[in-house]
Amino acid sequence: MAQLELFSHPGPGVRYRAGLCSTAALGLLLLWALTYLPPLLVAYRSQGLWLKQSTYMEQPTVQFQYEVLLVAMTGADPGSFLAWSTFPAFNRLQEDQLRVPLISTREEDKNHDGKMDQLHFKLELPLQSTEQVLAVQLILTFSYQLHRMSTFVMQSMAFIQSSSPIPGSQLYVNGDLKLHQRQSLSHCGVDIRYNVSVINGTSPFASDYDLTNIIAAYQDRNVTTVLSDSNPVWLVGRAADAPFVINATIRYPVEVILYPLAVV
Amino acid sequence: MLWARSGCCSRSCYCCSRGGGLRPLARPRGGAPGPPARPRGAAPGPPARPRGSAPAPPARPRGAAPGPPARPRGSAPAPPARPRGSAPAPPARPRGAAPGPPARPRGSAPGPPARPRGAAPGPPARPRGSAPGLPARPRGSAPGPPARPRGAALGPPARPRGSATGALSPKPAFPSHHLDDRVGVTSPLDLVCLSLFLACLPTCICNLHSGSCDINCCCDTDCNLGCDLEDSRAAFSFCLPGTKLNYFQQPQKVKKSDFSVFLAQYGGPSFIPPSQDLPSSSAFYRAGDPIQTYFAASSVRSTLRQPVGMSANGFCIDGNPAGFLESKSTSCTRTFTNLSSSCTTDPTLDAASYYRDFTILKVITPVTQPGAPQMDGNTCHNVVSEVIYEIEFNGTHGIQNVSVQLKVTSVSGNSLQQRFTLQFWVSQSRTPSYTLPRSGNPGYIIGAPLLSLNSGVTILQSQGDGICSQTLRYKVQFGMNLRTSCQLSYFQEKLYQALQGVSSPQALAIIGSAEPTQTDQWTSIIIRNCSMQAGNCASCCMVPVSLKIQVLWAEVGLQSNPQSQVLGARYWYQCQSLKSLNMSMVPLTTVVSFTDMTEWPKPPRSQPGTYWKLPFDFFFPFKVASNGGIKLTPSCCILMSHLVPVPHLGETI
């Protein structure tokens, strides 16, 4: 009959054996079960047995795409606005409302790690002395890349909007370009789902430059970037011959990125 | 120590305990009147004393009385008054106090082992605020000369903090011999506490209406109709917080001399502004000092003003003083409700008000003297648009000479932008022949003007109506990418001139401090114009429609002190056939792009290269340890080395 060794002293000790169908064997089985099962059950009940998602931090490689779309309201009338973009088709559609601003930009790599850290953007919209700006909408586009886990490439945008009943002289914006994840990114591979232009600059149709359509299509994405600036400063008191100025500093911060854990 | 309250009676009897401090024959709080009751903090000594109550006669001021039996906190059974604190009777266990030497009552004892705060020199342990042989001690007080401030050791007779030798209790409560025994009875603090007698005593704080029963105030004696009766308290749903037998430290005595000391010790921010030292009138100007002016006619001293636009609206703040040696330029907006009256009366538009009638150590000499503003139709002429003060100084000898340049303009709208500049020079250091300002030394500063041989690099600027401005041109700044566009009626030569400026730049300064005479500090601009792009259409009239100014630059020199220098520049005209332009106006576009060619040095060899096929954070624990960052405990290290690389295996496998 098969025997089970229950216990043995090290060295020339005594060995305790019992049959497989003995009470001692049953006790051994019970002890084994009590050793492993309760911890397993406790761990499982605490909802933390299988780690399914995790996060990592990475500073994205962001590059300003030098694509700008500007709409400035100059009055309450529907027709009183000025618009301009870097897309020739859009500019052709504007006719009399086209007003070309002076744009001055600089991207800065503060810590010289090869990744840009912030964008200085200044836009001077020349105005006639009778014109005044009550609201502005501005779209800047960026190329946004992550490399650490999966290679994620997308074209994203920052949308700046501000308005005031008082005619403005300057809009000052200083904020972070934050990644907004509706879905976790893959842990490996290449993800170019959203590597498409935010604004279809080759299209001759006005609907492709409509802000609602642009934003609706953009928000359909599961991964976007959002300019987080809760405190845009609207400055008033423009001199007659001075331009309307949009002064923006957009930072590219380190992001916490959600990804699913893979079973190797 | 908290003893179990044995024999806790029903709510109807609660009345007898709480707030009963002042009443004779009060029962222990929550305790039965019988002997086995253990008041909180009391020792099991024979006749237990209820907390805050005394079975024995009249009032118990706090302090302690020397009665022998057990003492509940703040109370004593003995007939004489017990000021708060306690007496050293052997079996007594007042709160925190023990009768024996090793006890550490709060309050102090002089003996080596026990050092309660507040001190008393008596040999045995003292309950808080008590003194040895003396019967009544006010809390925190010590009778003898060697009184200690709290927590202090025995020493010279320092003034104990919060100590007063007087009694906290009402005088009548003390038997006369107790008063005689005490030393140094009279202290103003006694009076303070006497006047706050009730506040110093355990009182019923929710008893807000004297003579009538306060709702839910279980310690209100007015609600008590008798211990055994079902009084109005039976209807209470809960008890408001009543008496709490714990006492604050005695505040220190404030004297005139101490006032500011205490204020500094305990004070924090408040609406009282911090005292500011008035600017001492120095013998000479220091950098940043306001520049003094003197109006001889009215004998008024003032400061030189440099109006500045405040955020929010950008309107001129005229009171802003100009700082010595602070060369800067400000601009701000002025608006007029009525231009015709403002034109002649507003001094800020009149050039004379910026130099006439006052002196800055020496007379201001205007370079040109514009006339007074005049109204002509709807336009106000000779209105100041820019003021430039140039101030020569010579170390501590101060300002040597001031000159002012005034620019005037004509205004027809209702607002005007003015610009104010102060420029400081060291005397005799100016070389009038060469005044090209540097854009960095030696390397370019980001944002400084890009230098070219005969003038700065400028590009077209648009007016408010979209037409190219004839006079204003935008200065290209180093490192700033630009894009602008405007419209112009076309003539081929004129278009070139419009795009490149009146005098076309031939060479760019390589470094920000380039001298025109040093030819090696200048790089010639590569120009690519339309004739090179004619292609197969030789007969077409090609006109330039856009200009791309492309500058290649890099950082050179020490990595710790990099210097930016221009490596090359190109003017690239893009042309279109005149036939393809079916407009009378040609839109001209200028784009400036700066391209960084900096080659960063390789990291030193001691750092591992990036060729390792390891998870990117494989060395993380070692890096952290060597950087002296987070101190990892060994178990943490093991945990990390096991857990961290696991998710990344997929990346490497």
For A141-157, write each residue's pLDDT tens digit.
Answer: 999 999 988 999 999 99
Q: Which of B324, B332, B333 is closest to B422 using CA atoms?
A: B324
Beta strand extents in B37-152 (DSSP E only)? none
pLDDT of residue B231: 61
What does the pLDDT look like over A114-127, one tens digit per residue? 899 999 999 999 99
Q: In B, which residues are within 8 Å of A188 by CB distance?
A: 650-651
Structure tokens at B615: 């998870």
Please report, to the nearest 10 degrees, the dihedral formed by the alpha carbons of residues B39, B40, B41, B44 taken in order: 40
Q: What is the DSSP letter of B588?
A: E
How far CA B413 is from CA of A240, B64, B265, in Å, comes to 7, 87, 59
What does the pLDDT look like over B442-452, one tens digit per residue? 889 998 888 88
pLDDT of residue B637: 37
What is the C-alpha separation between B35 and B42, in angstroms, rounded?
A: 13
B246 Cβ neighbours under 8 A, 6+ residues apart? none
For chain B, which residues score pLDDT lower than 50? 1-200, 278, 363, 432-434, 629-653
pLDDT of residue A134: 93
3-class SS of residue B538: coil
What does the pLDDT look like over B373-390, one tens digit per residue? 888 888 888 888 888 888
Residue A240 and residue B465: Cβ atoms within 8 Å? Answer: no
Angle at B216 between CA B213 and CA B220, to 5 degrees: 45
Q: Which of A123, A139, A137 is closest to A198 using CA atoms?
A: A139
pLDDT of residue B147: 38
Residue B647 in contact with partner chain A when CB distance is under 8 A: yes
Residue B474 and residue A262: Cβ atoms within 8 Å? Answer: no
Q: Phi and psi at residue B384, in whole multiples of 5°?
A: -70, 125
Angle at B440 between CA B561 and CA B590, to 5 degrees: 115
Residue B647 and residue A131: Cβ atoms within 8 Å? Answer: no
Count of Cβ atoms closer than 10 Å to residue B621 Cβ: 18
The alpha carbon dihedral of A57, A62, A68, A72 has a sign of positive
Q: Which among B477, B594, B653 is the nearest to A264, CB-wise?
A: B653
What is the C-alpha separation between B578 and B490, in angstroms, rounded?
A: 9
Q: What is the DSSP letter of B287?
A: T
pTM over 0.80: no
Residue A106 and residue B474: Cβ atoms within 8 Å? Answer: no
3-state secondary structure chain A: CCEEEEEECCCCCCEEEEECCCHHHHHHHHHHHHHHHHHHHHHHHCCCCCCCEEEEEECCEEEEEEEEEEEEECCCCCCCEEEEECCHHHHHHHHHHECCCEEEEEEECCCCCCCCCEEEEEEEECCCCCCCEEEEEEEEEEEEEECCCCEEEEEEEEEEEEEEEEEEEEEEEEEEEEEEECCCCCCCCEECCCCCCCCCCCCCCHHHHCHHHHHHHHHCCCEEEEEECCCCEEEECCCCCCCEEEEEEEECCCEEEEEECCCC
Higher pLDDT, residue A233 or B606: A233
Residue that is written with structure tokens 């030193």 in the block: B604
Q: Phi and psi at residue B534, in whole multiples of 5°?
A: -60, -35
Q: In B, which residues are within 8 Å of A112 by CB distance?
A: 600
B543 Cβ neighbours under 8 A, 6+ residues apart? B490, B492, B495, B530, B575, B576, B577, B578, B581, B586
8 A C-beta contact, residue B64 and residue B118: no
How, if at all, do strands A151-181 and A244-251 pair?
parallel
What is the C-alpha separation between B111 and B108, in angstroms, rounded?
A: 9
Rg of chain B (C-alpha set): 45
The strand pairing partners of B329, in sequence order, are B421
pLDDT of residue B275: 61
Residue A66 and residue B477: Cβ atoms within 8 Å? Answer: no
* CA-based nearest distance B364→chain A, Å: 29
What does the pLDDT look like over A178-204, one tens digit per residue? 999 999 998 889 999 999 999 998 888
3-state secondary structure B293-321: EEECCCCEEEECECCEECCCCCEEECCCE
Q: How many CA atoms lie within 13 A of B158 on its CB side?
A: 13
Residue B484 and residue A101: Cβ atoms within 8 Å? Answer: yes
What is the C-alpha separation between B302 and B306, in angstroms, rounded?
A: 13
pLDDT of residue A19: 85
How, if at all, do strands B379-393 and B374-376 pair?
antiparallel
Mean pLDDT value of segment A29-49: 86
Q: Phi and psi at residue A153, in whole multiples of 5°?
A: -125, 130
Angle at B85 between CA B82 and CA B88, to 5 degrees: 85
H runs (alpha helix) in B158-301: 176-181, 188-195, 197-200, 259-266
How, if at all, do strands B585-596 and B542-556 pair?
parallel
Select from A68, A85, A106 the residue whose CB has the most chain B CBs within 10 Å, as the one to mutate to test that interface: A106
Q: Element (H or E) spanning B642, and its range? A: helix B634-643
Q: Which among A106, A148, A242 is the nearest to B616, CB-wise?
A: A148
Residue that is written with structure tokens 């800065």 in the block: A108
Select from A56, A94, A104, A184 the residue whose CB has the most chain B CBs within 10 Å, as the one to mutate to test that interface: A104
Residue B483 in contact with partner chain A when CB distance is under 8 A: yes
> Angle, nearest 10°, between helix axes B620-627 and B634-643?
150
Q: In B, which residues are within 8 Å of A236 by CB distance?
A: 312-314
Residue B464 and residue A112: Cβ atoms within 8 Å? Answer: no
Q: Which among A86, A127, A261 is the nearest to B464, CB-wise?
A: A127
pLDDT over 70 at A216, yes or no:
yes
Question: ipTM of this predicted complex?
Answer: 0.74
Residue B482 and residue A103: Cβ atoms within 8 Å? Answer: yes
What is the C-alpha separation between B452 and B475, in angstroms, rounded?
A: 11
Select from B485, B546, B588, B649 the residue whose CB has the most chain A CBs within 10 Å, as the one to mutate to test that interface: B485
* CA-based nearest distance A227→chain B, Å: 22
Q: Which among B313, B466, B480 is the nearest to A236, CB-wise?
A: B313
What is the C-alpha separation between B157 and A24, in angstroms, rounded?
A: 80
Residue B481 and residue A66: Cβ atoms within 8 Å? Answer: yes
Residue B413 and residue A66: Cβ atoms within 8 Å? Answer: no
Residue B466 in contact with partner chain A when CB distance is under 8 A: yes
Judging by beta carbons within 10 Å of its beta carbon (0-12, 13-18, 19+), is residue B221 exposed, middle or buried?
A: middle
What does the pLDDT look like over A55-67, one tens digit per residue? 999 999 999 999 9
Phi/psi-derived region of residue B447, left when phi > 0, alpha when psi is between -120 and 50, beta in every other case = left
Residue B417 and residue A261: Cβ atoms within 8 Å? Answer: no
pLDDT of residue A130: 86
3-class SS of residue B344: helix
Residue that is written with structure tokens 């709290």 in the block: B150
Q: What is the DSSP letter of B360?
A: B
Residue B477 in contact with partner chain A when CB distance is under 8 A: yes
Residue B219 in contact with partner chain A when CB distance is under 8 A: no
Rg of chain A (C-alpha set): 31
Residue B464 and residue A126: Cβ atoms within 8 Å? Answer: yes
A154 Cβ neighbours under 8 A, 6+ residues apart? A143, A144, A145, A192, A193, A194, A195, A221, A223
3-class SS of residue B116: coil
pLDDT of residue B437: 75
A61 Cβ neighbours under 8 A, 6+ residues apart? A115, A116, A143, A144, A145, A146, A147
Residue that is written with structure tokens 């990344």 in the block: B648
Residue B180 in contact with partner chain A when CB distance is under 8 A: no
Question: Looking at chain A, how many residues does it have?
Answer: 264
What is the C-alpha separation between B140 and B162, in angstroms, rounded?
A: 7
